[in-house]
Structure 1
Amino acid sequence: MSIKWGGCVWCFCLLLPFDHYASEVVSDVDIVVNQLGYPRLAKKRAYWINASTTQVKLIDMETGRTKQFPVKINRLRLDQKRTVSTVDFSRLTQVGWYRFQAGKQLSAPFQINDDVYNPLLYRLIRALYLQRSGVEIEDRETGVSRPPSHIHDGLIYRADSFHMKNEWVDVNGGWYDAGDFGKYVATTTITIAHLLEAYRQVPSLFHSVAFQPEELKKSQLPYVLQEARIGLHWLEKMQRSDGAVYRKVSGQHWPKVTGPWNDPQLRYIYGVSSADTAKFAATMAFASRIYAAFDTTEAKRYLNAAIRAWGYLARTPKQFIDWKKEDDSGSGAYMSNVHDTETSLLTDVDDRLWALAELYLATKNEQYKTIFLALYTPEYLDIFEWKNPALMGIWHLILSKKKAFTFLQNDLHAKAAEYAQIAQSQPFFVANDRFIWGSNKMAAEAGLLLAWSSQLAQSLNHSFKYWQYSQSQLDYLLGANAFNLSFVTGFGSLSVKHIHHLYQNASGVNLPGFLVGGPNEHAQAGIAPKGLGMLSYVDNEKSYAVNEFAIDYNASLIGLLAVYYAAFKER
């Protein structure tokens, strides 16, 4: 039986049987790099798997000139047979195209250029447009064209005090969460927050012509905020009259491999959740601050929605989820379950902390700060994700420079030190040692946390060296890994191709700028190899547990790229 791995059989040389339909797949190119490249002043590292000498040759692809760089022989292991060594070429700052050579081995080509990530950042945002629900899609840049889909969303799945079972409520719009057609408050809020934070940090970048699609170049509102509106307007529809927010919209069964307009299922609105209501409150309050500069009426509407959501939370002091097992027969749980077991999912305090921080900053009402201080403990400070979103609010409180929040700076630096220590112990300096569902997102978020800590230290004239580990997360996601593979479709000379995405799988349509979940040692689809940590990956469309895209994955990388761009433009 022949198996096509990654669409490019030639780039993989080690195929060892593992279960009935899975293999350990590692690139036969031993020198791996960030295939997009590096800013001039960035920490620049290449990695050599099983290095055979202490020198490696760098080739200037324009002039043909070569330069020798030392190889730091490490003892960090991919497995029992392979080590990963480091080539540090940070002193190279000349703009151009390069590649490494060792014997007959040639790395992927890469650039040195300060704007090297701009096309990627744009396409990561534009990918959200391709995920829109309920509207016609016409993307001149990719040629993607599809009719409106799921325009009748949706029916109340289970009666509550406000709606009858099967009552229709308009929840049309928003983004499809991933490769199927579910829409979730949990990931929509996280995605919007990253878009807003990216704009907040480097507004000049997003006002540039390069970040406006052709059809929107005359708009006064930057495209990144126009796209965020798609999620915000859908979220507004998901709020109940008492302030509570419904969790998700989907069919009762997992859809077939088809375009979304062909999905025949009735679509249901599933019960409210206090955690999702808190995420909603935080996102709306944050949005009110950002959009106030463009539309005060819109900003007030968002803030009022956030305040109503907090009213519900104030009346519901403990975590509440209107959930039954059948709710997840055709969609993801996005709550504590057999796959997502983090202790943060057993409480909604982390979600409330984010909401309280954003409400305080939006309203200046001291009651929100008082409740935040009463609830907060350092255990809630970790990477920003739907499982624990507290960090975004903590970061914004730190930026407010209030003396009451100086303790949060110390907690942030302490958590960053933990992730830096993980990076030091891992091949490719990956600041994540939990290779589970969405591990690529977790690596990006760890890079962002490290960057925020470094950014804060830099503003206080302290010397923090965590920028190098933020760069390492970008490098890993964009090719400096055991597979010599960029985990973002269409970016890098060798990028993931066979993503789990029902529309792409059915039509073959080109979807560039989609970040996949990455190595997952549980490999729930039974395709990728299990139990191999960062080697538990395969580029196969059936392997949904490692190769599915999700909007919050893209959002994490958007966040990391934005903070990185700001850092190097400020130097």
Structure 2
Amino acid sequence: MIATAAFSAQAGNIMVNQMGYLPSGDKFAYVMSEVASDVQLVSVADGRVIAKLERADSVSLPDERQIAAIDFSRVTAPGWYQLVTKGGQSVPFPIEADVYEPLNERLVHALYLQRSGMAVKDRMTGMNRPQSHMQDGQIFRTDAFHKTGTQLDVVGGWYDAGDFGKYVATTTITVARLLEAYRQAPQLYAATKRPGSDKPAIIDESMYALNWLLKMQREDGAVYRKVSGASWPAKVGPWQDNQPRFIYGVSTPETAKFAATMAFAARVIKPYDTNLSRQYLSAAIHAVNYLAIQEEQYIDWQVGDDSGSGPYIANKFDTEPSLDTDVDDRLWAYAELYITTGQDKFKRAFQESYDPQWIDIFEWKNPTSMGVWHLLLAEEKGELREQLVNDLDQVASRYRQQSQQSPFRVANQRFIWGSNKMTAEAGILIAWADFAKGRIDNRSSVQSQMDYLLGANAFDMSFVTNSGTYSVRNLHHLYRIATGVSLPGYLVGGPNEMAQSGVAPKNMGMLSYVDSEKSYAVNEFAIDYNASLIGLIAVHHAYFNHY
């Protein structure tokens, strides 16, 4: 209990979603049980008591403190409010119809701030940095097409996280999640355009990354895995990282994720650029043709490949069964190619490989659920659709149950590296199952995942930088550390029981977190983290609109 307080100096007794709530949405807050039971909702404008609220039964945090939920969903009038007891008060929060739109814009814009291969001059944040990594990159190890040291043009793309590596695994996942958010709720993005662009910013960002992915495809359709230096960069700006940058070997998991993302992108991008749409689809088909020849999982990896970048394969920390196979990645590819081309051979390939064990949250480790979701949308009826709906709902029911039993109603109970992303994806999975069943029964569970990420947690803190009264201040990000520039709209990884950086407390579940720039294992941003929260906002929006 003492340790937890030390890691969150501002933590209060009443925790809320610090970005606020929708008038017709679900509204939960959380109170430490030692606080007096009389909780009042007060208008900030005039101090009036709007409602007297009751607490639900308490549940225990890992340090044995007791947390009780408060439901004030019946309050629908727009305005600014606080929850007040004799023992404390919450931060002020709004109830407004567009309460998440500025946050959503920041989350998308953060990806622009991660661009490599160009100068970034940003009016919103004041970031003004020169072009960087314009020599990417050299082939690291001789393969069938290129010798060691061969220079290829792989300039561009996003920096994956707080350092300067660029990865196909997370870029594909991020692009697909952005495109799905746009497909799900296009009205959320229509008005947000960059100067000089006729496209929504979320489409601009996706295309910037997609065009880098095209450069990562080898002549035979296989896709290289990543681009980085052989050593981890120093705490400098990206333009100061002058070490040689290498292109690391191909793999079937990345190639399958590439095929899926390109096939999906071909559908979404077509209204904006038909030529690029055709190019994306051609690249997807080229990739899946390579997979047809390379039937078993293949990863060109050797010791030393990860001396300056993340592995993004099975390792001592990432041990999920999905990393022992590429079936999950291929399933996603087959689904997207079937939907885009209409060719039955891809549907047959999906059915022949399908096993419900692969349905889980959408992430680089296992992307199957995105393919399942899109097949559900494409198949209006039939045995396949019925099976996929039931399989999806069965997995969602596990997350719903975990949400109901957890402090702060958190659906994800694996507090490992990137747990905040997993929390957002669990919320999306719950929503997908609802929509597939034609219901809106679990909207409050989806809301609760947003609430947790945006302040309704044991730290009384939003996990998104510059978003909320109390938000992450000490982001682990080399550019921020080197320059002191504030980077708004960055979702950090969150509680991680393994605490690999040796700073956060270990084995404390959702309490294994500290807001420290030294703690990269909990306080680093990654592009796919932001993408998952963007996707969560989109499905939440869909509950109140036609989904």
Report if TM-score (shorter chain) is over 0.5: yes
For residues 244-293 of structure 1, the C-alpha deviation after alignment (integer angstroms, 9 at most, x for no partner) is: 00000000011000100000210000000100000000000000011111
Judge which range, 392-401 or 77-86, deviates more. Answer: 77-86
Contact 1:74–1:83 under 8 Å retained in 2: no
Contact 1:274–1:319 under 8 Å retained in 2: yes
> 2: CA distance between counterparts of 1:121 and 1:127?
10
Contact 2:266–2:280 under 8 Å retained in 1: yes
Would you say how many aligned residue pairs link Structure 1 and Structure 2? Answer: 545
Contact 2:416–2:497 under 8 Å retained in 1: yes
Note the aligned Cα RMSD (angstroms): 1.5
Matched, 1:136 2:136: no
For residues 151-206 of structure 1, the C-alpha deviation after alignment (integer angstroms, 9 at most, x for no partner) is: 00000000000000010010000000000000000000011001111111122332
Q: Map of 1:62-461 to 2, 5 A cutoff?
A: 62-208=45-191, 211-213=192-194, 215-216=195-196, 219-400=197-378, 401-403=380-382, 404-457=384-437, 460=438
Unaligned runs of 5+ in 1: 1-13
What is the Cα deviation at residue 470 of structure 1?
Answer: 0.5
Contact 1:286–1:362 under 8 Å retained in 2: yes
What letter is aligned with 1:262?
A: Q
> 2: CA distance between counterparts of 1:116 and 1:25?
26
**Aligned CA distance change for structure 1 residues 488 and 28 (closer, same or farther; 3 Å):** closer
> 2: CA distance between counterparts of 1:51 and 1:417?
32
Matched, 1:540 2:523: no
For residues 432-481 of structure 1, the C-alpha deviation after alignment (integer angstroms, 9 at most, x for no partner) is: 11100000000000001111112233xx3x4x521111100000000000
**Aligned CA distance change for structure 1 residues 171 and 226 (closer, same or farther; 3 Å):** same
> 1: CA distance between counterparts of 2:272 and 2:51?
53
Contact 1:51–1:73 under 8 Å retained in 2: no
> 1: CA distance between counterparts of 2:64 and 2:54?
19
What is the Cα deviation at residue 74 of structure 1?
Answer: 2.3
Contact 2:35–2:87 under 8 Å retained in 1: no
TM-score with structure 2 setting the length: 0.97
For residues 505-525 of structure 1, the C-alpha deviation after alignment (integer angstroms, 9 at most, x for no partner) is: 010001000000000010000
In structure 1, the residue matched to 2:474 is 498
What is the Cα deviation at residue 537 of structure 1?
Answer: 0.2
Contact 1:134–1:151 under 8 Å retained in 2: yes
> 2: CA distance between counterparts of 1:257 and 1:52?
43
> 2: CA distance between counterparts of 1:104 and 1:54?
9
SS in 2 for 1:38: coil
What letter is aligned with 1:470?
A: V
What is the Cα deviation at residue 51 of structure 1?
Answer: 4.1
> 1: CA distance between counterparts of 2:14 and 2:355?
43
What letter is aligned with 1:533?
A: G
Matched, 1:484 2:460: yes
What is the Cα deviation at residue 554 of structure 1?
Answer: 0.2
> 2: CA distance between counterparts of 1:567 and 1:28?
31
In structure 2, the residue matched to 1:16 is 3
What letter is aligned with 2:503?
A: I
> 1: CA distance between counterparts of 2:42 and 2:303?
58
What letter is aligned with 1:155?
A: Q
**Aligned CA distance change for structure 1 residues 551 and 28 (closer, same or farther; 3 Å):** closer
What is the Cα deviation at residue 15 of structure 1?
Answer: 4.3
Contact 1:23–1:528 under 8 Å retained in 2: no
> 1: CA distance between counterparts of 2:38 and 2:51?
6
What letter is aligned with 1:96?
A: G
SS in 1 for 2:499: coil
What is the Cα deviation at residue 296 of structure 1?
Answer: 1.4
For residues 410-435 of structure 1, the C-alpha deviation after alignment (integer angstroms, 9 at most, x for no partner) is: 11111111100111111000001110
> 1: CA distance between counterparts of 2:469 and 2:9?
16
What letter is aligned with 1:393?
A: G
Contact 1:177–1:184 under 8 Å retained in 2: yes
> 2: CA distance between counterparts of 1:570 and 1:111?
25
TM-score with structure 1 setting the length: 0.93
**Aligned CA distance change for structure 1 residues 104 and 80 (closer, same or farther; 3 Å):** closer
SS in 2 for 1:16: helix
In structure 2, the residue matched to 1:39 is 22
> 1: CA distance between counterparts of 2:381 and 2:220?
33
> 2: CA distance between counterparts of 1:26 and 1:424?
28
> 2: CA distance between counterparts of 1:376 and 1:101?
52
Contact 1:419–1:432 under 8 Å retained in 2: yes
> 2: CA distance between counterparts of 1:49 and 1:333?
40
Judge which range, 199-208 or 70-79, deviates more. Answer: 70-79
For residues 462-503 of structure 1, the C-alpha deviation after alignment (integer angstroms, 9 at most, x for no partner) is: 4x5211111000000000000000000000000001010000
What is the Cα deviation at residue 402 of structure 1?
Answer: 4.2
SS in 1 for 2:248: strand
Contact 2:44–2:82 under 8 Å retained in 1: yes
What letter is aligned with 1:133?
A: S
**Aligned CA distance change for structure 1 residues 561 and 234 (closer, same or farther; 3 Å):** same
Matched, 1:474 2:474: no
What is the Cα deviation at residue 55 of structure 1?
Answer: 2.4
